[in-house]
Chains A and B, each alone.
Chain A
Amino acid sequence: MKFARCLAMIAACVASAPAAAERIVSSVSTHQVMISSNFTGLDLVLFGTVERDAATVLRKSGYDLVMTVTGPKVSTVTRRKERTFGIWVNVESRAFIDVPSYLVVMSSRPFDGFVNADTIRRLQLGLNRTLLPQQIGSDLADTVREDPFRGAFLRLKAVRHLYVENTAGVTFLTPTLFRATIPIPAEVPVGNYDINLKLFADGQNIAQATSAFEIVKVGFEQFVFSQAQTNGFFYGLATVMLALLTGWFASVVFRRD
């Protein structure tokens, strides 16, 4: 098994070697998403083209592209409720260690249409194939795909639009020019986001490119956030003063005696 995988990897290296002729050039609509007080989420647009040169061989299959956007990594605990003595209590829990807080996978068509199952697994294409290491005792390991905790984690992330998979999300406008939309939901965590682009042709991954953007709070939002983090005590004191002021103001305004 191990030997076979080794062979496959060598084969992949060899296969992609002459394909260095193709290059992905891409740009995302902004490299800094600013969260201000009217932020309700937005869509980033990524444009790109497959650059070919004189040495490039003709690709029979045309090009396919997989875009993976990964947000800051956090550890997340998934809990399961069970009925105990007639009431529903959190009984079991699993900790997912350093998994992406945001994960978007988009491709030009379903993966099995342009690569074989082996490559899908090896390149971790799609949410189902992404490594989600769990804390199991003192070890870190990903479990089987059918694991209920893993399934629940993916489902709950998808409900909040933080994990998205769309096998029609990348559009080829011409055989070499492509476009993709990166949905940024309102509840997105701040931090650095990595974009990974993988180009496929004739069943092989022939080129890769990476890019990045960051999500930051700006202006008033940033001020409040940083004060809360660095001057917690005075921030709390200020909030209480604000509360007293509001309370006093109301009692003056509504005074009738």
Chain B
Amino acid sequence: MEIYLPIADLPVNVFLVLGMGLTVGFVSGMFGIGGGFLMTPLLIFVGVAPAVAVATVASHIAASSFSGVLSYWRRKALDISLAMLLLTGGVIGTGLGVWLFTVLRRIGQLDITIGLSYVILLTSVGGLMVYESVGAILRARSGKRAELRRPGTHTWIHGLPFKMRFKTSRLYISVIPVLGIGLIIGFIGAIMGIGGGFLLVPMLIYLLRVPTSVVIGTSMVLTLVTMAMATIMHAATNHLVDAVLALILMVGGVIGAQFGARAGQKMPADRLRLLLGVLVVAVGVRFALDLVLPPTEAFSIRAMENTR
């Protein structure tokens, strides 16, 4: 069944898009990530213009993260005060990111920056996650206790001043690294057009020692607010949000996210991290191949906007 998209200006198969929403929603519910780094390339592959894809995916992520936030909220598996503090840093980071985005576009180096940051970020973060989780699984197999995972363990980060108590996470840590992490996520998100959940989750686990059970819900709150803001900003400035496409993606996404969240709760945490790590590395390698392999078509055409 084909339906014509009013903003993207092309017909798509409803069931194909619904299926894409379901799949990405499942992944996002399972790992507590937005899934933007998967959905945007998929939409571009179907023929949606990259600018429309980025803008529309933001609203899809808002929907699936809201449904996720609600179910984690009921299980009391999210830390609101931690999320609010992360958001404060995130807003500042987004501002800085948008500024750099404009500068890079002016000097014509935006595309390559986005491509390279995808490759570097995804392969390094994914690689680290795979390495760490394989280690944890092996340790568990050999019967040793995973000492690194104890919530009480302190690093230099826990020695910083301006401490604050986060009850749900059972943490007493400085606000500086929390704001800093929010800032980095906001900055990267604005440049790469992603929610940044796949970066935030490992940062919260490894740097702040936030318990895994709280991490996903908390990360989803941040994703929800940034993506809702991004949708409104994209709609108000570029008029590129396709509500019809967004609705189909949302419906698939929220259903997928529910099943994903349940699958995620059943799976052991280290196995979950390994899976996410493999997924992230795979997407990173895919982007790397695009940059390294000779393209079948060296030319590309794009309508110029705002010309005369």
Task: Give the B-binding residues of A (Cβ under 8 A).
Answer: 35-41, 74-83, 86-90, 95, 97, 101, 148-149, 152-153, 155-157, 186-187, 189-190, 217, 220-222, 224-225, 228-229, 232-233, 235-240, 242-244, 246-251, 254-255, 257
Q: List 10 additional A-B contacts (Cβ < 8 Å) besides A75-B304, A221-B6.
A: A38-B4, A87-B116, A89-B112, A156-B297, A190-B9, A243-B66, A247-B62, A247-B69, A248-B66, A251-B258
Name the distance in Å between B136's Cβ and chain A's nearest Cβ.
30
Task: Give the A-binding residues of B (Cβ under 8 A).
Answer: 2-4, 6-7, 9-11, 47, 59-60, 62-71, 74-75, 111-112, 115-116, 228, 231-237, 239, 241, 243-244, 246-247, 250-251, 254-255, 257-258, 290-295, 297-304, 307-308
Alpha-carbon distance A75/B112, docked complex (angstroms): 23
> Chain B interface mostly helix, strand, loop or mixed?
helix
- Residue in A88, A189, A251 whose beta carbon sits within 8 Å of that of B67 in the complex: A251
A233: chain B residues within 8 A (beta carbon): 232, 235-236
Known A74-B304, A88-B292: A228·B241 in contact at CB below 8 Å: yes
Known A243-B63, A243-B66, A250-B67: A74·B303 in contact at CB below 8 Å: yes
A80: chain B residues within 8 A (beta carbon): 298-299
Name the residue among A38, A74, A87 with the largest chain B CB count within 10 angstroms: A87
Alpha-carbon distance A257/B239, docked complex (angstroms): 40
Known A37-B3, A186-B4: A81·B67 in contact at CB below 8 Å: no
- Residue in A236, A249, A250, A254 whose beta carbon sits within 8 Å of that of B234 in the complex: A236
Docked-complex contact B301 and A77, CB < 8 angstroms: yes
Closest 8 interchain pairs by CB? A236-B235, A247-B66, A250-B254, A152-B299, A243-B63, A247-B67, A236-B232, A251-B70
B115: chain A residues within 8 A (beta carbon): 87
B291: chain A residues within 8 A (beta carbon): 87-88
Docked-complex contact A186 and B63, CB < 8 angstroms: no
Name the distance in Å between A83's Cβ and chain B's nearest Cβ.
7
Docked-complex contact B235 and A235, CB < 8 angstroms: yes
Docked-complex contact A229 and B239, CB < 8 angstroms: yes
- Residue in B10, B59, B232, B257 whose beta carbon sits within 8 Å of that of A186 in the complex: B10
Docked-complex contact A235 and B243, CB < 8 angstroms: yes
Docked-complex contact B66 and A244, CB < 8 angstroms: yes
Name the residue among B4, B60, B241, B295 with the largest chain A CB count within 10 angstroms: B4
Known A76-B304, A77-B301, A246-B251: A228·B4 in contact at CB below 8 Å: no
Name the distance in Å between A151's Cβ and chain B's nearest Cβ.
9
Alpha-carbon distance A111/B224, docked complex (angstroms): 60
| 24 interchain pairs, CB-CB under 8 A | A40-B11, A74-B303, A77-B301, A81-B300, A88-B291, A88-B294, A90-B112, A152-B298, A153-B299, A156-B297, A156-B301, A187-B47, A228-B241, A235-B243, A237-B235, A239-B243, A242-B63, A244-B66, A247-B250, A248-B70, A249-B254, A251-B70, A251-B71, A254-B255
